Amino acid sequence: MEFFESLSQGFAALGTWPIVLSLLMGSALGIVVGVLPGVGPGVTIAVLLPFTYGMAPLAGISLLLGVYCGAFYGGAVTSILIRTPGEASSIMTMFDGYPMAQKGQAQRALSLAFMSAFIGGIVSALLLGLAARPLAGFAAKFGAPETVMAILLASLCVGKAYHRQFASAMMMMCLGFFLATVGIDPNSNEQRYTLGIPALLSGIPLVPVAVGMFGMAQALVMVSSPVPKFDSSLIGRAGVSWRAFLEPFKYPKTLGKGLFLGSAIGVLPAVGAALSTSLAYFWAQRGAKDPTPFGEGNPEGIVAAESANNSNSGGAMITVLTLGIPGDAITAIIMGVFVVHGIVPGPSLFMDRPEIINGVLSALLVINVVILILLVLCVKPLARLAYVNPRILGLAILALCFVGAYSAANSMYFVLIATVFGVFGLVCARANIPTIPLILGMVMGDTLESTLRQALGRSDGSLMPFIERPISASILAVMVLMLIWPWLSRIVSSRKA
């Protein structure tokens, strides 16, 4: 009953023209950036972040959520029609979607993808509404030691998500933590790492860093990369099939696998949709109902990948709203909207600003419906956006980054920071160094420092509270197990051999 009351209050909170327009614009823009290869929601959200400052909190969040969800849908269009994923998480859709399009079943493949994604989006939104409040109640039991250990566990998950890049990912995470300490110490009023530059007294702002690392860096990559070539002959066959819209329900086991993995992995920090779609795709191969081999146009491959892809969004928002810990770089940037408007994500948010929680839940439901309608009406003209020259698009994004960085504070200082981090992001991209951990480190750095000070202050510098308290000790045990697991698995496998 409480869930339906929250839902009705959320729909009421969305019933203003600024929020309605933000939902529509965000959804449409998200589909467009999903179709455009190389752009992605991270770049777009970073560019849009400064423009949300003048909006009401829920309007700004709805705009960015529309881009976030719409890009997942749009990425399937180019994966199926031109074998070029608009999003990294759409790669698995390409394996069976493109062969189906080559067989003259482009409309069927697109319809399968859209409906599977729609089911995933709706389920993830309902999961957010049902699970967020109980998890917030559990998170309310967290003291300073538990919060510190939760952030450290999230940081370790970030490093583990990059597998062979564990060292570089953790290095970038630590760099993000360090950048969060620049400025005046809030307790002693001492200057920290300001290098005598007055502008650094207030710290390094997140907005220009995000604009530079994601927007400018990606724009520079697009400008300096060769123009890709692809077979566009299938774009003219874009469309939807009403019969195929119901086809995902013929494979309930495959659909369930995708929904389960997408929702569960979406909660984990920095893992992202790409892993959930891969795992769901390979899991769907076991016991598949359709006899067509996977990779040759099996519809269950599309159903598994797209349902897992879109069910990530609700899970990623759960950790933001309940713990104040972003699930990925995009939700980290969305957290910037909360911070700018003085809203602190966490358990207290459910008591202090329930209209925000209910509004986010309702917005996710409405966004998925709006996106599906837009795709049904406009899929063919949207598919033709793949013809856009990425170098021209990169120059346009670069110009918007400069405008956005300046408009955030009407200061060239923000433009300078964005430019510096844009060049740094380009270097990292060329050297294959992950940049997402840096942003996550900056977002969580202030909370980590304040809670660590609080924990050590209450214990007179002793680390025993981290071990004596049950929740923090359990989190510590999980972290130790994650670190030693590779060695344990090697020992077990060597003994078996």
**pTM more than 0.85:** no
* Spacing of C-alpha 372 from chain mean position: 20
What pLDDT score does 488 carry? 81
Q: What is the dihedral angle through the alpha carbons of 130, 133, 136, 138, rounded to the nearest 10 degrees? A: -80
What pLDDT score does 355 carry? 83
- How many Å from the N-terminal Cα to the C-terminal Cα in the chain? 56
What pLDDT score does 115 carry? 92
Mean pLDDT estimate for the chain: 83
Tokens found for residue 258: 């995708």
Whole-number Å distance between alpha carbons of 50 and 53:
6
Tokens found for residue 289: 């109902």
Counting beta carbons within 10 angstroms of the beta carbon of residue 53, is it exposed (0 to 12), middle (13 to 18) or buried (19 or more)? middle
What pLDDT score does 116 carry? 92
Length of the chain: 497
Nearest partner of 436 among 29, 90, 41, judged by Cα: 41
Listed as ranges, residues in the chain with pLDDT below 50 are none
What pLDDT score does 122 carry? 92
Whole-number Å distance between alpha carbons of 139 and 61:
23
Tokens found for residue 419: 């430019």
Read off the DSSP letter of residue 192.
E
- With H, G, I as helix, E, B as strand and everything else as coil, classify residue 184: strand
What pLDDT score does 270 carry? 56
What pLDDT score does 236 carry? 62
What pLDDT score does 367 carry? 93
